[in-house]
């Protein structure tokens, strides 16, 4: 009797946040940089953008490692207000941009759309889903924002804050069905997909 071997798993990302989340499963996996340009296409809706980029990242690596199951993910932060059109918030990159983003978020709702694509090139198997997490920021003073940015330096995070760290103090509420989604990878739905793909998870 032969034991069925565990499929190979690849995370199409070099994000330390996504790697740390996937490590919670205790599965062996590798990470690979997909090299996908994360820019918005003309008139592209935020949800369409997140789905397209997650799929493109997974497809890029799956074409190179055809027998592996590949996870691609992308998160788009959308600032919403009663009197303005939705605005996509990218990774601030600089201290000044981060301060400006958080000033814009003060007292407002931000939706974090986290898209995930899991696929295997060899047989064309593919799963996709999107998690929506809504974050209500409390009113923030300039001094509060500057103090926070100095302490946590969240320059590589969409929306300019880290919910898993000190950034949680900036919000009034978080509406979510999966607390891991806001960090970058919704583990609840992903676990179900990986189990159906043949990975052993409790």
Per-residue pLDDT tens digits for 136-190: 999 999 999 999 999 999 999 988 999 999 999 999 999 999 999 999 999 999 9
User: Averaged over 34-39, what is the pLDDT?
Assistant: 90
178 is catalytic: no
Class of domain 9-196: alpha beta
Q: Is the pLDDT of residue 37 over 80?
A: yes
Q: If pLDDT is split at 50, 70 and 90, which confidence band does 28 have?
A: very high
- Mean pLDDT of all residues in the chain? 93
pLDDT of residue 4: 57
Q: Which residue has the higher pLDDT, 85 or 139?
A: 139
Catalytic pick from 74, 123, 131, 156? 74
Spatial distance between the Cα atoms of 80 and 28, rounded to a whole number of angstroms: 39
Q: Which of 12, 13, 6 is nearest to 27 (CA)?
A: 6
Side-chain half-sphere CA neighbours of 199 within 13 A: 22
Task: Give me the helix-helix angle, 142-152 and 95-105, nearest 10°.
Answer: 130
Residue 75 has pLDDT above 50, yes or no: yes
Rounded to whole angstroms, the Cα distance separating 185 from 2 reads: 34
Length of the chain: 202
Give mean pLDDT, residues 11-25.
96
pLDDT of 3 higher than 80 = no
Q: Compute CA distances 134 → 26, 28, 53, 123, 129, whole Å.
A: 29, 32, 21, 36, 17
Note the pLDDT of residue 43: 87
pLDDT at 25 over 70: yes
């Amino acid at each position: 009797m032969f034991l069925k071997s565990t499929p190979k798993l690849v995370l199409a990302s070099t994000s330390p946040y996504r790697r740390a989340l996937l490590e919670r499963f205790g599965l062996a996996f590798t990470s690979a940089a997909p090299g996908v340009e994360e820019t918005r296409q003309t008139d592209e809706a935020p949800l369409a953008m997140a789905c397209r980029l997650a799929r493109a990242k997974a497809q890029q690596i799956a074409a190179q490692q055809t027998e592996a199951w590949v996870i691609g993910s992308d998160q788009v932060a959308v600032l919403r207000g009663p009197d303005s059109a939705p605005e996509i918030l990218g990774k601030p990159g600089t201290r000044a941009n981060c301060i400006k983003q958080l000033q814009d978020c003060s007292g407002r709702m931000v939706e974090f759309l986290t898209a995930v694509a899991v696929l295997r090139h060899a047989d064309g198997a593919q799963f996709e889903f999107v998690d929506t997490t809504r974050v209500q920021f409390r009113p923030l003073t300039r001094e509060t924002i500057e103090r926070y940015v100095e302490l946590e330096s969240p320059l590589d995070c969409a929306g300019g804050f880290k919910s898993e760290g000190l950034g949680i103090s900036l919000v009034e509420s978080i509406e979510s069905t999966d607390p891991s989604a806001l960090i970058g990878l919704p583990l609840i739905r992903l676990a179900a997909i990986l189990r159906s793909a043949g990975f052993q998870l409790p």
